[in-house]
C-alpha cells in the first residue's frame, strides 16, 4: 500500500471539537514552528489515541503492527499537534517491502503510508515526519532512505523531490490486498516509482 487518503474525519470527533475550538486562527501555512508539534514512535499505551488515525495494511491489526515494531522490523511514527494525532508514517527497517525493489536496493529503509490528515496539511508536518525518520535512520547507521510513490501522486512526488529524493527505480507495481466495491478481497496494484535520498 503506497498511499492512503484517510476518510477518518467523520468519526474523529476529538479532532472536530479541536478544530471548532481553534476556528481558523491556528496552524498558519508553512509555520510548523508556530504550533506545538511533537513527533515520536508510538507504543502500546498510544493505541486508543491513534486507532482512528493509523491505518494498518488490509488484514492486519494495529496490535500486529506494534508486534512488528517490537521485533525491530518497523517503526510507527506519529505527529501530534497538542494532544491531537494528525499524521503518521511507517518505516520498514529491513529494506523496501516490495521484493523486486528490495532485490535491487537491499538494506535501504523505506518509509510508507505517510499521511497527514487533511486539515493539517501544508503546514510542514509531512516534512517534519520525514525529517524525524531520516534522523532516526542516520542514528541507526543507515546512509540512505527510500520510499515508493504512485505515478499518479504528483504532489507527493514534488514534495519528495524538494526534500532531495531521486528516482532510483522508474517503474514497479506495488501490489497489496484490499476489498473491492462489493466487499470481496482482491489484489490491487499501483504503478509506482522508488525514490532514494543519501543521508549526509
Ligand atoms: C503528502 C502529505 C503527507 C504531505 O503532508 P503535508 O503535511 O501537507 O506536507 P508539508 O506541509 O510538509 O508539504 C506540503 C507539500 O506537500 C505536497 N503535497 C503532496 N500531496 C499533497 C496534498 N494532497 N495536499 C497538499 N499538499 C500535498 C505539496 O507539494 C505541498 O507543497 P505546497 O504546499 O507548496 O503545495 C499529505 O499531503 C498527505 O497526507 N497526502 C495524502 C496521502 C499521500 O498521498 N501520502 C503520500 C504517500 S507516497
In order of their start, the domains of the chain are 9-198 (3.40.630.30)
pLDDT at 4: 38
At 130, list the grid cell: 520525514
89 within ligand 1 shell (Cβ under 6 A): no
CB contact at 8 A, 114 and 164: no
Residue whose CB lies within 8 A of the most ligand 1 atoms, among 86, 92, 122, 149, for a mutation test: 122
CB contact at 8 A, 12 and 52: yes
Query: pLDDT tens track of the chain, all 200 residues?
Result: 443 334 444 444 556 555 555 544 445 555 555 689 999 999 999 999 999 999 888 888 999 999 999 999 999 999 999 999 999 999 999 999 999 999 999 999 999 999 999 999 999 999 999 999 999 999 999 999 999 999 999 999 999 999 999 999 999 999 988 889 998 989 999 999 999 999 98
**pTM assigned to the model:** 0.86
Q: Which atom of ligand 1 is nearest to the CA of 89?
A: 3
At 177, list the grid cell: 490486498
Amino acid at each position: 500500500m503506497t498511499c492512503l487518503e484517510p476518510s477518518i474525519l467523520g468519526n474523529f470527533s476529538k479532532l472536530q471539537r479541536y478544530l471548532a475550538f481553534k476556528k481558523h486562527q491556528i496552524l498558519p501555512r508553512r509555520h510548523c514552528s508556530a504550533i506545538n508539534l511533537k513527533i515520536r514512535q508510538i507504543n502500546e499505551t498510544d493505541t486508543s489515541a491513534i486507532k482512528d488515525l493509523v491505518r494498518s495494511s488490509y488484514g492486519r491489526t494495529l496490535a500486529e503492527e506494534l508486534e512488528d515494531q517490537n521485533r525491530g522490523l518497523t517503526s510507527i511514527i506519529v505527529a501530534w499537534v497538542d494532544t491531537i494525532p494528525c499524521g503518521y508514517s511507517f518505516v520498514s527497517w529491513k529494506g523496501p517491502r516490495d521484493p523486486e525493489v528490495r532485490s535491487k536496493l537491499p538494506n535501504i529503509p523505506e518509509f510508507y503510508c505517510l499521511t497527514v490528515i487533511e486539515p493539517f496539511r501544508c503546514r510542514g508536518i509531512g516534512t517534519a515526519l520525514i525529517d524525524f525518520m531520516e534522523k532516526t535512520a542516520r542514528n541507526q547507521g543507515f546512509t540512505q532512505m527510500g520510499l515508493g510513490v504512485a505515478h499518479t501522486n504528483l504532489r507527493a512526488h514534488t514534495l519528495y523531490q524538494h526534500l532531495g529524493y531521486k528516482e532510483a527505480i522508474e517503474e514497479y507495481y506495488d501490489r497489496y490486498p484490499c476489498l473491492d466495491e462489493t466487499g470481496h478481497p482482491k489484489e490491487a496494484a499501483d504503478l509506482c516509482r522508488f525514490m532514494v535520498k543519501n543521508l549526509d
